[in-house]
C-alpha cells in the first residue's frame, strides 16, 4: 500500500505529453478531455447566445442579419446539447464512475477513447462548416435549419450547399461516439464493481449513470437512424422526407423527438446523480429513501420513452393521441416529485454546510421544480396549442437546461475539482459566481416567459416596437451580462485554483464514497489495493468502525 | 494518502459479476435494435404510399433459399460454440467455416437480387418511396451481415493458425451473440419486406 505516493510523472518533453494524451485510454484522462472540450464549446455557445441577446434587446434591431441569426440559434442549440452538455456529463461520468465503484478503469478503455474522439471530431466537423459549408452554390455557411432540423427544410432543394451536410454528419459521428459511451457505462457499472458492491450498495451516481447509459442506447440510436435516412436523402436521392415523392415530414418529427425527449433525461439523470451525492454529504446524513430514488430513476427512464409527441401537439394529432401523450407526460411528474421530496427529506434535520457545491445544488432544487412545473403546463395540450413555439417554451427549457443541468454541473465542478486536481476551488469566488449567476439566470429566464405569454414566437430575428415585448427582452439581455461575468469568474477561479488553490488532501469534504479514499488526483491505477465494501457509505464504515452502516442496511 | 479499503472487514461471500464482453454485446444489440426499429417503422409506414411504380409485388421475389441459409447458420455457429466449449477445436473450425459459407451465400444472394433489380428492372433507391425504404432496410441488414462475416473471417484465420482454444470460448461467444442477432433481425426484415410489404 501507499505505493501511489511515489512520484510517477517523470519529466517529459511537451511532445511526449501530447502523445500521452492523444493516445490515452485512461478513464481519468479521457474524462478530463471530455470536460475541457465541453468547456471550450460552452464558451462558444455562450458567445452565440450573447450575440442573439444583443440582437433581441430592443425592437427593430439590425445588429445581426436574419440569416446570421438563423445560423446562431441553430449552432447554439446543436452545440449546447451535443457538444457541451453530453460531453461534460460523459466527462464527469468517465472520471467518477470507475472511482466510485472501486474499479481501475472503464470496462472497455479503448472503446472509451474511440467514443471521445468520435464526439470530438463531430464537434470539429460542425464548426468546420464555417470554413467549407458554403459549398459551390454559396448558399450560406453554417447550418441554419434549427437544432431539430425539421424536414423538408433539410432537403437539398431548400438547404443547398453543404451546411446541412455538416450538421447531419457531425451529429452522426457524435451519435456513434455517444452510443460507444453508453455501452461502456452500462458494461462498467454492471461488470467492474469491486467486491461487496452489490447493486443495492452502489452509490446513487453509479445507479443513475447506469440508467443514463441504458437510455443512450435506446435514444441516440433513433437519431442515428434518422440521420442515416437524411444522409440517404441528401446524397443518394432517397425520398424518406421528400414530400414531392409522398414522403412524410411528420415522420422526421417523430423520429427526432423519439430521440429528443429522452435526451433530456440522458442529460438530467447524471445531474440528479451529482445532486444526490452532494446533498447527502453536505447535509451530513445518509441519503433518504435510496430504494425509492433508484426506483424513481429507473421509472423515469422507462416513462420518458413514451412521451415524445408532446413536442408535436401543435402539428395536430387525433384526440386519443393527444390524451395519451398528455397523460404519459404528466406521469413523469410522479417519480420526479419523489426525487425532490427525497432530496428535501435528506436535508431535513441535517447539519447543512452551505459550501459552494451545496448552494448550487439547492439552487438546482428550486429552479428545477419551477422548470418542471412550466413543463407540466406545456404538457397540457390546449395550453401548448396556445404557447407552443413561443418564448414561453424557450424560457421553460432553458430553466431546465441552465437552471437545472448547468447549475448541477457547476456544483459538480466545485465538489470534484479538488479530487481531479488536488486543489480546492476558491470559496469566495465561488459565492460570487453563484450569486451573480443566480441573478443573471433569473433576470434572463424568468422574464423570458412573459413575452412568450404575450405572443412572441421563438426564432424571430427581430420584432416590431409597441407590442409590449421590449422591456422584457431588455431585462433578459441585461441578465446575460450578469451570467457572462459569473462565468468569467468561474473560469478565472478554475485557472487560478489549479495553480494556487489550497491543497485539497484526499477527502476535503469528509465524504463517504470510494473516490475520496484515494489520492487527489488519483494515480493511474486508482487504487493500490482494490477496495471491498459492505455498505453504501464505505468511508463512513472506515471512519466510524464502532458504528458502521452495514449493520443497518 | 492510501487506499483504506483493506480496513473494511471483507465478507467471505464469493463475488460474481457478469462478463463485460457479453454485457457490452447485449448493449450493442439493444442499440442496433433501436436503429432497426426506426428503419422498420419507416418501411411499414411507407407501404403502399409510393406515388409511382414499381410495387413490391411486381419486382420482389421471396428469397427462400438464402433465408434458409442464414437462419441455419445460427444453428451451425451454436454447434461450433458447443464444440469449442468442450475443447474440440476441429469440430469448432468445421462448423465455424460452414457458418461463414452460409452467411456468404446469403450475402451473395442479396447481391444478385440487387444487381437484378438495378440493372434489369431499373429499380434504385431514387425510384420511389418503396425503393428508398427497401434499399435502406435491406442494405442496413446486409451491412451487418458483412460486419459479422468479417468477424467470422478473423476468427477463422486464427482457428486455422491453431490459436483458438477452449479458453477463448467466452470471446467467440460474444461474436456468436452478434451473429444470432443478425439472424434474428433478418426474420423481422424478411417478414416486413417480403410478407407484410408484398
Ligand atoms: Cu419532451
**pLDDT tens per residue across span B82-117:** 999 999 999 999 999 999 999 999 999 999 999 999
Closest to A191 (Cβ–Cβ): which among B20, B38, B133? Answer: B20
Closest to A191 (Cβ–Cβ): which among B11, B23, B45? Answer: B23
Query: Is the CB of B50 less than 8 angstroms away from the CB of A222?
Result: no
The series of mean pLDDT values per 10 residues for chain A, 553 residues long, is 44 83 92 95 95 94 92 95 96 96 94 96 90 61 89 88 90 95 96 92 95 96 95 94 92 95 95 96 93 95 94 90 94 94 95 95 95 94 92 96 96 96 95 97 96 94 92 96 96 95 93 93 92 89 85 76
Cβ–Cβ contact B103 with A under 8 A: no
What residue of B is the nearest CA neighbor of A519?
A: B1
Which sequence spans correspond to the domains of chain B? 67-198
What is the percent of chain B where pLDDT is above 90?
83
Across the range B126-142, mean pLDDT stands at 95
* Domain B67-198 CATH (choose: 1.20.120.80, 1.25.40.340, 1.10.1040.10, 1.10.3260.10): 1.20.120.80
What is the A306 CA–ligand 1 centroid distance (Å)? 10
Beta carbons of A385 and A313 less than 8 angstroms apart? yes
What residue of B is the nearest CA neighbor of A111?
A: B24
**pLDDT tens per residue across span B14-51:** 788 899 999 999 999 999 999 999 999 999 999 999 99
What residue of B is the nearest CA neighbor of A194?
A: B15
What is the C-alpha separation between A57 and B66, in angstroms, rounded?
65
Going along chain A from its start, the domains and CATH numbers come out as 3-543 (1.20.210.10)
Would you state the cell numbers that stand for residue A480, as one nine-digit string?
Answer: 446575460
Q: How many CB pairs under 8 A join A and B?
A: 163
Closest to B35 (Cβ–Cβ): which among A225, A238, A528? Answer: A225
Query: Is the CB of A529 less than 8 angstroms away from the CB of B9?
Result: no
pLDDT of residue A10: 55
What residue of A is the nearest CA neighbor of B1?
A: A519
pLDDT of residue B10: 52
Q: Of the candidates B82, B84, B77, B81, which has an alpha carbon nearest to the alpha carbon of residue B98? A: B77
pLDDT of residue A446: 96
Secondary structure of chain B as H, E, C letters: CCCCHHHCCCCCCCCCCCCHHHHHHHHHHHHHHHHHHHHHHHHHHCCCCCCCCCCHHHHCCCCHHHHHHHHHHHHHHHHHHHHHHCCCHHHHHHHHHHHHHHHHHHHHHHHHHHHHHHHHCCCCCCCCHHHHHHHHHHHHHHHHHHHHHHHHHHHHHHHHCCCCCHHHHHHHHHHHHHHHHHHHHHHHHHHHHHHHCC
Beta carbons of A114 and A177 less than 8 angstroms apart? yes
Closest to A221 (Cβ–Cβ): which among B7, B18, B31? Answer: B31
Residues of A127-165 as b/e, b for ≥16 C-beta within 10 angstroms? bbbeeebbbeeebbbbbbbbbbbebbbbbbeebebbbbb
pLDDT of residue B130: 95
pLDDT of residue A369: 95
Interface with chain A: mutation pick from B26, B52, B132, highest number of A CBs within 10 Å = B132
What is the A310 CA–ligand 1 centroid distance (Å)? 6
pLDDT of residue A137: 54
Amino acid at each position: 500500500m501507499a505505493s501511489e505516493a511515489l512520484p510517477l510523472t517523470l519529466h517529459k518533453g511537451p511532445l511526449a505529453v501530447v502523445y500521452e494524451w492523444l493516445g490515452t485510454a485512461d478513464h481519468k484522462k479521457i474524462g478530463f478531455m471530455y470536460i475541457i472540450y465541453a468547456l471550450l464549446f460552452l464558451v462558444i455557445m455562450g458567445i452565440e447566445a450573447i450575440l442573439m441577446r444583443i440582437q433581441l434587446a430592443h425592437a427593430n434591431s439590425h445588429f445581426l442579419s436574419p440569416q446570421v441569426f438563423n445560423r446562431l440559434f441553430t449552432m447554439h442549440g446543436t452545440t449546447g446539447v451535443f457538444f457541451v452538455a453530453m460531453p461534460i456529463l460523459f466527462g464527469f461520468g468517465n472520471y467518477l464512475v470507475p472511482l466510485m465503484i472501486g474499479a481501475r478503469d472503464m470496462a472497455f478503455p479503448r472503446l472509451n477513447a474511440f467514443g471521445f474522439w468520435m464526439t470530438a471530431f463531430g464537434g470539429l466537423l460542425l464548426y468546420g462548416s464555417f470554413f467549407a459549408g458554403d459549398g459551390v452554390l454559396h448558399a450560406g455557411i453554417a447550418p441554419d435549419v434549427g437544432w431539430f432540423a425539421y424536414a423538408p427544410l433539410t432537403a437539398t432543394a431548400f438547404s443547398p450547399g453543404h451546411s446541412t451536410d455538416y450538421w447531419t454528419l457531425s451529429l452522426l459521428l457524435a451519435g456513434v461516439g455517444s452510443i460507444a459511451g453508453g455501452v461502456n457505462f452500462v458494461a462498467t457499472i454492471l461488470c467492474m464493481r469491486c467486491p461487496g458492491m452489490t447493486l443495492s450498495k452502489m452509490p446513487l451516481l453509479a445507479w443513475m449513470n447506469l440508467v443514463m447509459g441504458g437510455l443512450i442506447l435506446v435514444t441516440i440510436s433513433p437519431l442515428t437512424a434518422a440521420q442515416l435516412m437524411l444522409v440517404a436523402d441528401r446524397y443518394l436521392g432517397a425520398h424518406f422526407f421528400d414530400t414531392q415523392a409522398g414522403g412524410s415530414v411528420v415522420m422526421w418529427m417523430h423520429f427526432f423527438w423519439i430521440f429528443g425527449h429522452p435526451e433530456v433525461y440522458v442529460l438530467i439523470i447524471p445531474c440528479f446523480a451529482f445532486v444526490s451525492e452532494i446533498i447527502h454529504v453536505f447535509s451530513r446524513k445518509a441519503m433518504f429513501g435510496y430504494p425509492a430514488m433508484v426506483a424513481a430513476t429507473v421509472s423515469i427512464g422507462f416513462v420518458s420513452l413514451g412521451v415524445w409527441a408532446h413536442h408535436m401537439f401543435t402539428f395536430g394529432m387525433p384526440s386519443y393521441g393527444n390524451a395519451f401523450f398528455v397523460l404519459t407526460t404528466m406521469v413523469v411528474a410522479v417519480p420526479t416529485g419523489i426525487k425532490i421530496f427525497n432530496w428535501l427529506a435528506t436535508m431535513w434535520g441535517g447539519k447543512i454546510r452551505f459550501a459552494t457545491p451545496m448552494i448550487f445544488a439547492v439552487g438546482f432544487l428550486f429552479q428545477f421544480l419551477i422548470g418542471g412545473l412550466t413543463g407540466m403546463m406545456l404538457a397540457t395540450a390546449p395550453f401548448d396549442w396556445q404557447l407552443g413555439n413561443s418564448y414561453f417554451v424557450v424560457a421553460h427549457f432553458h430553466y431546465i437546461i441552465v437552471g437545472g443541468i448547468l447549475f448541477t454541473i457547476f456544483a459538480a465542478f466545485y465538489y470534484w475539482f479538488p479530487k481531479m486536481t488536488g486543489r480546492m476551488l476558491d470559496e469566495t469566488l465561488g459565492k460570487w459566481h453563484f450569486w451573480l449567476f443566480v441573478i443573471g439566470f433569473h433576470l434572463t429566464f424568468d422574464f423570458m416567459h412573459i413575452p412568450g405569454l404575450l405572443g412572441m414566437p421563438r426564432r424571430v430575428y427581430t420584432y416590431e416596437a409597441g407590442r409590449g415585448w421590449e422591456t422584457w427582452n431588455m431585462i433578459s439581455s441585461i441578465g446575460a451580462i450578469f451570467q457572462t461575468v459569473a462565468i468569467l469568474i468561474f473560469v478565472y477561479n478554475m485557472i487560478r485554483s489549479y495553480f494556487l488553490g489550497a491543497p485539497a488532501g484526499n477527502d476535503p469534504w469528509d465524504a463517504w464514497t470510494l473516490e475520496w479514499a484515494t489520492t487527489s488526483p488519483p494515480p493511474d491505477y486508482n487504487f493500490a489495493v482494490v477496495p471491498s465494501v459492505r455498505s453504501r457509505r464505505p468511508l463512513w464504515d472506515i471512519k466510524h468502525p464502532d458504528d458502521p452502516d452495514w449493520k443497518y442496511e | 494518502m492510501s487506499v483504506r479499503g483493506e480496513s473494511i472487514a471483507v465478507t467471505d461471500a464469493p463475488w460474481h459479476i457478469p462478463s463485460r464482453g457479453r454485457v457490452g454485446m447485449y448493449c450493442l444489440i439493444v442499440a442496433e435494435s433501436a436503429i432497426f426499429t426506426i428503419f422498420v417503422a419507416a418501411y411499414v409506414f411507407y407501404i403502399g404510399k409510393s406515388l409511382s411504380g414499381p410495387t413490391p409485388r411486381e419486382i420482389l421475389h421471396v428469397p427462400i433459399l438464402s433465408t434458409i441459409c442464414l437462419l441455419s447458420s445460427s444453428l451451425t455457429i451454436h454447434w461450433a460454440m458447443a464444440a469449442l466449449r468442450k475443447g474440440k477445436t476441429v469440430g469448432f473450425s468445421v462448423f465455424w467455416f460452414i457458418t461463414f459459407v452460409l452467411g456468404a451465400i446469403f450475402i451473395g444472394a442479396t447481391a444478385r437480387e440487387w444487381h437484378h433489380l438495378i440493372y434489369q428492372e431499373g429499380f434504385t433507391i431514387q425510384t420511389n418511396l418503396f425503393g428508398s425504404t427497401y434499399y435502406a432496410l435491406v442494405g442496413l441488414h446486409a451491412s451487418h451481415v458483412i460486419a459479422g462475416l468479417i468477424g467470422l473471417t478473423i476468427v477463422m484465420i486464427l482457428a486455422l493458425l491453431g490459436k483458438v482454444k477452449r479458453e477463448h470460448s467466452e470471446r467467440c461467444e460474444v461474436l456468436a451473440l452478434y451473429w444470432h442477432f443478425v439472424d434474428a433481425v433478418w426474420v423481422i426484415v424478411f417478414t416486413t419486406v417480403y410478407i407484410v410489404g408484398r
